[in-house]
Amino acid sequence: MERNHQIDWKKYVIVFLFTVGLFLSASYVSNYFGNKKIDQLKLIQDKISIDILSSETQFSLLSELSCKNISDSIISGELGELGRKLEWGQENIGMTDTVSYLKKYYSLLEIKDYLLTKKISERCKTKSAFILYFYTTAENCSECEKQGLALSALRDKYPELRVYSFDYSIDLSAVKAMLQIYKIEDTKLPALVIDENVLTGFHSIDELETRVKESFKLQETKPEETK
């Protein structure tokens, strides 16, 4: 009966250390994959950065080139992918210094892409439309969530539409300058800028579609038109 009294304290400690070891290993593996993902994000950003630089260079050479040489392919198509991955990373890896830095860099790339694509569009009369979208992650903004979904759906429908999304709370002077230019207030989020017009609050997909069609001369791509 004595055995019932005996407590092997050493075992309690060993099990504790072993469990801590398992947690640390899990944390190590998690960090490893987290870093891999950040590396992947950096790679995409580098690629976009090169794409934009390449576009800018080509644009500078436009006087010597015909608009035929400026194809859609030079405009980086990976911005959307990077945006989705960064958003996911922010939620799942956490807003670490690296993720925060990548997000700032992403916003800068968006602005550069916006300016460049706009110039190319004007110069070469390519069919394109632009929406600047301001949201917030600082507080629970269900309207922003709805607006983001509506814009994604709209972008799926119109490949020529380019949506650039900016986190209102990001600490980046270029974004702050845009907020000042368009007089965006944090109490009126989400906010959209379409052809220099500022729209605040949620706007439905139908409403935006009308604006995209009318204001930006974007025509719905119908099968007979494409032929």
Partner 1 sequence: MTSISSIVFYMLTFLSVYVQVFFLITFLENRKKIITRKGTIKLTKYPKVTIIVPCWDEEKTIYKTVRSILDLNYPKDKIKIFLIDDGSTDGTWNIISKFAKLARPNSRSGGYSNIKVFHKENGGKYTALNLGLKHVETDFLGCLDADSIADSESLVRIMSYFEKDSNIMAVAPSIIAFKSKNIIQNAQKAEYDMSVYIKKMLGFLGAIHVTPGPLTIFRKKVFDDLGPYRHAHNTEDMEIAYRMQKNHYKIEQCNDAYVYTNTPLTVKKLYKQRLRWIYGFINNTIDYRKILFKRNYGNFSLFTLPSSIISIFAVSFLFGKMIYSLGDFLFSKIIQFQAIGLHFPNKIDYLDPFFINTQTLFFIVVILYFLIMFSIILGRKMTEGKWGFSFDMIYFLLIFSIVGPFWLLKAVYNTILSRKPVWR
Instruction: Give me the 182-221 binding string for partner 1, x by CB under 8 A, dash otherwise.
Output: --------------------x-xx----------------
The rounded distance, in Å, linking the Cα atoms of 207 and 186 is 22
- Binding flag, residue 147, partner 1 (CB under 8 A): yes
User: What 8-state DSSP symbol labels residue 133?
Assistant: E
How is 147-209 classified by DSSP, letter by letter? HHHHHHHHHHH-TTEEEEEEETT---HHHHHHHHHHT--GGG-SEEEETTEEEES---HHHHH
CB atoms within 10 A of CB 152: 16
How is 170-185 classified by DSSP, letter by letter? ---HHHHHHHHHHT--
Nearest to 130 by CA among 221, 225, 215: 215
Q: Which residues between 20 and 79 bind partner 1 (CB under 8 A)?
A: 22-23, 25-27, 29-30, 33-34, 37, 40
Nearer of residues 67 and 153 to partner 1, judged by Cβ: 153
Instruction: Give me the 76-105 binding string for partner 1, x by CB under 8 A, dash otherwise.
Output: -----x--xx--x---xx------------
Which listed residue (65, 67, 95, 153) binds partner 1 by CB under 8 A? 153
Q: How far is the CB of 169 from partner 1 (least distance, A)?
A: 18
> Which residues neighbour 194 within 8 Å (Cβ) at sequence distance 6 or greater?
129, 130, 131, 208, 211, 212, 215, 216
Nearer of residues 22 and 115 to partner 1, judged by Cβ: 22
- Binding flag, residue 146, partner 1 (CB under 8 A): yes
Sheet holding 197-200, edge to edge: 161-167, 129-135, 191-194, 197-200
AA identity, residue 221? T
Q: How far is the CB of 227 from partner 1 (least distance, A)?
A: 22
Beta bridge partners of 198: 193
- Binding flag, residue 226, partner 1 (CB under 8 A): no
Q: How far is the CB of 214 from partner 1 (least distance, A)?
A: 21
Site residues (vs partner 1, CB under 8 A): 1, 3-7, 11-12, 14-16, 18-19, 22-23, 25-27, 29-30, 33-34, 37, 40, 81, 84-85, 88, 92-93, 142, 145-147, 149-150, 152-153, 156, 202, 204-205
